Amino acid sequence: MSSQSSGSKWVAGLLVVAIAVAVGIFVYREKQARDAVTAPAAEAASTAAASQPIGHDAPAPLHPVDPASAGSASLPALDQSDDAILAGLLALTSDDALKSLLRQDAIVSRMVSTIDALPKQTVGMNVLPLRTPTGRFQVQSDDGMFVESKKNLDRYETYMYVADRMNPQAAAAWYKRNYPLFQQAYRDLGTGGYFNDRLIEVIDHLLAAPEPKGKLQLIPAKVGYVYADPNYEQLSVGQKFMIRVGKANEAKLKEKLRALREAIVADAPAGASAG
């Protein structure tokens, strides 16, 4: 958690709104000076790399997107998609709460980079699709030890409000229609494979986040605080975020993620693994 949090530079990526807003939407990262690592730039890589299709000998996707629900040639180019993507995302909500949080440039590339990084230890500030919570991370003394202050939950209210109002089925349908853009942005990272497989993997990783029974002790670090228990301190940035939002919010996010996962794998092409 940096001075604002314990080793957690966060990001929540409720995706593509339900993970683009049910965790792409949450992406939250507390800046931590001791982290010198930066993630790939949010902008797409070279046009040549983006245009290279996956080879015919590449393994089949574990979770293919139904061609009938995927986007078509009518989709804009990735580097010209921000207006259409923003309009689609805002249509999934009934007010401007999401717009106030969303960074409105390189939206798809930011989502993809953030989601891909959630199971890792760091996420670069330059790839976050959402603005980070205002204010500083606060601790309090409890029986002679430092623990997270309940006041921190106030910083997540707008994010939770957006997630609560997001319909996972509608979010999944929007995602599938725009999937070619997400796949292209994923190829631009140079990782290979299929973004939808990575998304399902990340959702499962977030669902596996521990659910602490009590307060977690924090200890001062060179910058901010870290978890006293190494089992928690070594968690990924994504799982740390799930813990940081509090027990009740973590349960709500997991409920959204389960519904989102189910909606994404529904109607997969015949013979595909449901995972």
267 falls in which pLDDT band (50, 70, 90)?
confident
DSSP secondary structure letters along 135-152: S---EEEETTEEEE-GGG
The pLDDT score that the predictor gives to residue 45 is 37
pTM for the model: 0.77
Q: What is the mean pLDDT of residues 51-75?
A: 67
Q: Are 19 and 260 in contact (CB under 8 A)?
A: yes
pLDDT at 41 over 50: no
If you average pLDDT over every residue of the chain, what do you get? 76
**Percent with pLDDT over 90 in the chain:** 38
pLDDT at 3 over 60: no
How does pLDDT run across 202-237, given as a tens digit for each residue?
Answer: 999 999 999 998 889 999 888 788 999 999 999 999
Distance in angstroms (rounded) separating the CA atoms of residues 70 and 108: 15
Higher per-residue pLDDT: 61 or 135: 61
Helix (H, G, I), strand (E, B) or coil at 127: helix
The pLDDT score that the predictor gives to residue 270 is 53
> Of 26-30, 90-94, 98-102, 218-222, where does the model show the most confidence?
218-222
Q: In the structure encoding, which two tokens stand for residue 50, read together?
A: 């983006």
How does pLDDT run across 171-200, given as a tens digit for each residue?
Answer: 899 999 999 999 999 999 998 899 999 999
Helices (H) and strands (E) counted in the chain, each on its own, are 11, 4
Distance in angstroms (rounded) separating the CA atoms of residues 75 and 81: 8
- Whole-Å CA distances, 49 to 45, 206, 230, 249: 7, 30, 40, 39
- Whole-Å CA distances, 272 to 59, 174, 179, 241: 13, 21, 17, 31
Look up residue 79 and give its DSSP letter.
G
27 falls in which pLDDT band (50, 70, 90)?
very low
Distance in angstroms (rounded) separating the CA atoms of residues 274 and 28: 29
Helices (H), the chain: 47-51, 82-91, 97-101, 107-117, 157-165, 168-177, 179-188, 195-207, 230-233, 237-244, 247-265
Higher per-residue pLDDT: 45 or 154: 154
Type of residue at 128:
L
